[in-house]
Amino acid sequence: MPPRKLTREGVLDTAVTMADAEGIGRLSMRRLAGELGVEAMSLYHHVANKEALLDGMVDRVYAEVALPDPARDWHAELRRRSLSVRAVLGRHPWALPLMESRGAPGPATLAYHEANIACLRSAGFTPAQVAHAYAVVDAFVYGFVLQETSLPFRSGSEAADLVSAGPLAEVVAAHPNMVWFTQHVVLAPGYDFSREFEPGLDLVLEGIAALLDLPDQPDQPDQPDQPD
């Protein structure tokens, strides 16, 4: 059988698949080469090193996100984009800590940021407002995904079991507001933490929309008070 022909795309595809299955911590150039059936040195013809591999993998994740269209309503487009980011990170949870950490962003990463900034600019936000809006939307989306993937339960029924039986139930019972929340939220029929994402996102976007109604503000950072 002739040796397998490697391509950069094939290397990145396999690396992403391995990270999805096992987490990023177990991914190494040697293990990746073994999965591809080649010697580790063969990989360096396609990715310069482990950091370059991670850059390419993160760029693959960004490429899956539905980009906002600056020609359409910014609110609807950022909402659609945020739902897409959450879905993509649900498929690739390993990517969350890496999304904003790369020093050599790829074309899909750059296209993502370009489209988001263009969407907010086209809506009439000032430079400072664009920065505020972009930061708070991503903080909410990334933070929610991190919380969602870190919870000690995967369903409403598991959450109900956790707070109604065992050691945690005794702890909750000593805190009346937690008891109230448990009774009216966690133990309510159909509870699922994931349902909090869209209402929370809408609150964020409505807050951002209010910026457009503010009187014009100088786009300069606050200056510290000068000593007398």
User: How many whole angstroms separate alpha carbon 171 and alpha carbon 12?
Assistant: 46
Which pTM does this prediction carry?
Answer: 0.86
Give 43: exposed, middle or buried? Use CB within 10 Å, 0-12, 13-18, 19+: buried
The pLDDT tens digits along the chain (228 residues) read 445 689 999 999 999 999 999 999 999 999 999 999 999 999 999 999 999 999 999 999 999 999 999 999 999 999 999 999 999 999 999 999 999 888 899 999 999 999 999 999 999 999 999 999 999 999 999 999 999 988 887 777 888 888 888 778 888 889 999 889 988 998 888 888 999 999 999 999 999 999 998 766 555 444 445 554
User: How many whole angstroms separate alpha carbon 70 and alpha carbon 112?
Assistant: 12
E strand or H helix at 173:
helix 167-173
- Reported as a single tens digit per residue, the pLDDT across 32-56 is 999 999 999 999 999 999 999 999 9
User: How many whole angstroms separate alpha carbon 11 and alpha carbon 46?
Assistant: 8
Q: Of 62, 85, 61, nearest to 201 (Cα)?
A: 85
Q: Give all domains of the chain, ordered by start, each with its CATH number.
A: 8-47 (1.10.10.60)
User: How many whole angstroms separate alpha carbon 175 and alpha carbon 6?
Assistant: 59
Q: Of 186, 199, 200, 183, nearest to 153 (Cα)?
A: 186
